[in-house]
Structure 1
Amino acid sequence: MKLKHLILTASLLAPFASHAAEPLRIATDATYPPFEYVDASGKVAGFEVDFAYALCKAMATPCEVVNQPWDGLIPGLQAKKYDAIMSSMNITDKRRQVVDFSKVYYLMQNRFVARKGTQLTADLKDKVIAVQTGTPQDSYVTQYFKAASVKRYVNAQDPMLELTSGRADFTFGNTVQLQKGFLDTAAGKAFAFTGPVFDGRKDKILGEGVAVALRKQDGELKQRLNKAIDQVKASGEYAALLKKHQLDGLLED
């Protein structure tokens, strides 16, 4: 009788044990070094990838980071293919209509990049601006540079390829990503920042800051992530990750 009771108890608990061990799935678009990229071994790596695992450790939750093209990130979240997005995603009013966000973990600054010696004019009339589609940077140049031609790409690396090929005159994006992922590389040696810094504190269209994107109904997960963000920052691990990826002093939080 006792053996039967133990077997019954184990069978009842098994589904809960399986659920508890199920990893939190976090999606990223790994075309955005040094924040997220695919390394030489084929693994997804980068600052935000390491930060994601640090948050999961703080929550005592197993997790995995999966690679997903940028334009499929939010649809995939809504379809429950994964549980969260960590991909340098800025909080904007448009995105808030369909997803929720954790607290901000870094503020994004933006600049234009062009061939060295190129000046940023008021309207960039007849110039070609290459940007990643569906981003605050895309919205910004579309709204304020109507005399220019805007070319949009899903892959975050493609605007830089358009610059180097001569098919675009400017790109506009995250200052740190453009510096580390392009200007500091051999491909970017003939290019430089031009014009001032733009960020969400000056114009809300550029976003309130980078955060974890979640489904609106996942309020409990949001609370756990917010607590974990505070914990990882307070412990010094966040600063250590910035240093590891040579980002210390470059990101505001």
Structure 2
Amino acid sequence: MTLIITLLAMLSLLLCAAMSASAADIDLARKSTLEKVIQSGTLRVGLEAGYMPFEMTDKKGNIVGFDVDMVKEMAKAMGVKLELVNTAWDGILPGLMSNKYDLIASGMTVNQERNLKVNFANPYIIVGQTALINKKWANEISSYKDLNNPAYIITSKLGTTGEQAAKRMFPKATYKSFETEDQAMLETLNGKATAMVYDLPMTSIFFAQRGKEADMKFLDKPFTYEPLGWAINKGDPDFLNWLNNFLVQMKNDGRYDRIYSKWFDSNKWLKDIQ
């Protein structure tokens, strides 16, 4: 009899624990950003419109680009409206953490420092750092390793992985930071700096537009591994699961390839950009 009572008590405790865990899971799901987006009817996306071809402003004032087309498909899959929140890069993570938007889709590199503050969905594209060299130093520099020289000045954009790579990999060189990619590239184009270090897509576009004509040297083989991912707030497994499954679907039904080809395999869009 005592054994039966003991077994019943244990079973009761197990049932209570299971019910408690189930209730906690339901509560967590209700608090998910995904649920809030569905209830509000709007997906708010934080980005900085200045990173070609991921997000930029066209001549009509619209924000367009690879990331924009991706989140348009995201909002469509959720059945909600899309709201783009243009944000300065140095405030983009704090903006997410203070719930000014639901996720970041802004060509953001997944790294461990950022991952301490936010969660990332699986990478949607892989890029890396490259270098544009002013023609005055073109014959001296054949590899990115040559840039680690006290005689050289290297530029990049403030707060980016380009800046981090320049400081980490070329400590002997002088580093100059700029608010925008264009300013950093023009400093190098005009001969005031030796090289500009930045992500492959952006350097490729600048080289095609102005660098080739100015006899700049383009070290176009990336010397870092940089996966880009969508950032969301921590503690939200439901939203993370949805984003990862959405990306898998996009990459296997042809939509991802169409968007990629539009922005990376053609430069027809350049004529419409400010």
Common topology (TM > 0.5): yes
| Paired residues of 2:204 and 2:220 also in contact (CA < 8 A) | no
Q: Distance in 2 between matches of 1:61 and 1:87?
A: 20
Instruction: Find 1:155's aligned residue among 156, 180, 185.
Output: 180
Provide Cα deviations, 1:100-125, integer angstroms capped at 9, x if missing partner.
10011111122111123241525132
2:241 paired residue among 205, 208, 223: 223
Structure 2 distance, partners of 1:60, 1:18, is 10
Give the Cα–Cα distance (whole angstroms) in 1 for the partners of residues 147 and 188 of structure 2: 20
Match of 1:25 among 6, 28, 44: 44
Correspondence for 1:213 among 204, 213, 231: 231
Give distance in 2, aligned partners of 1:195 and 1:221.
36
Question: Aligned to 2:264, what secondary structure does the other structure show?
Answer: coil
For the structure 1 residues 42 and 215, does the alpha-carbon distance in structure 2 shift closer, same or farther, using more than 3 Å as the test? same
Amino acid at match of 2:257: A
**Higher CA-based Rg:** 2
Does residue 173 of the first structure (1) align with residue 223 of the second (2)? no
1:175: how far off? 1.2
Aligned partner of residue 107 in structure 1, secondary structure: strand
Aligned to 2:73: 54
1:25-70 CA distances to partner (integer Å, 9 max, x unpaired)? 1111111111111100011111111111112222333222221111
The answer on whether the counterparts of 2:37 and 2:43 sit within 8 Å (CA) in structure 1 is: no
Q: 1:108 aligns with which of 116, 121, 127?
A: 127
Task: State whether residues 57 and 63 of structure 2, in contact with CA within 8 Å, keep that contact through their aligned partners in structure 1.
Answer: yes
User: Which residue, out of 228, 232, 237, partners 2:250?
Assistant: 232
Of 63, 66, 70, the residue aligned with 2:89 is 70
| Identity %, equivalent residues | 27
Retained in 2: the 8 A contact 1:31–1:157?
no
TM-score, length of structure 2 as denominator length: 0.75
Find the aligned partners of 1:49 and 1:193 in 2 and give their Cα distance.
28
Aligned residues: 225
Aligned to 1:6: none
> Do structure 1's residue 186 and structure 2's residue 210 form an aligned pair?
yes
For the Cα contact (< 8 Å) 2:133–2:195, is it kept in 1?
yes
| 8 Å contact from structure 1 (residues 88, 210) kept in 2 | yes
* TM-score where L is the length of structure 1: 0.81
Moved more, 148-157 or 186-195: 186-195
1:198 corresponds to: 223
CA contact (8 A) 1:59 1:224 kept: no
Query: Of Structure 1 and Structure 2, which has the larger fraction of its residues in helix?
Result: 2
Q: What are the superposed Cα offsets for residues 185-214 of structure 1, whole Å, 9 maximum, x if unpaired?
A: 1366312313753122xxxxxx4x100011
Q: 2:259 aligns with which of 238, 241, 248?
A: 241
- Higher alpha-carbon deviation: 151-160 or 170-179: 151-160
Number of the residue aligned with 1:139: 164
For the structure 1 residues 150 and 213, does the alpha-carbon distance in structure 2 shift closer, same or farther, using more than 3 Å as the test? same
Q: Where does the alignment leave 5 or more consecutive residues of structure 1 unmatched?
A: 1-15, 201-206, 249-253
Q: What secondary structure does 1:199 align onto?
A: coil
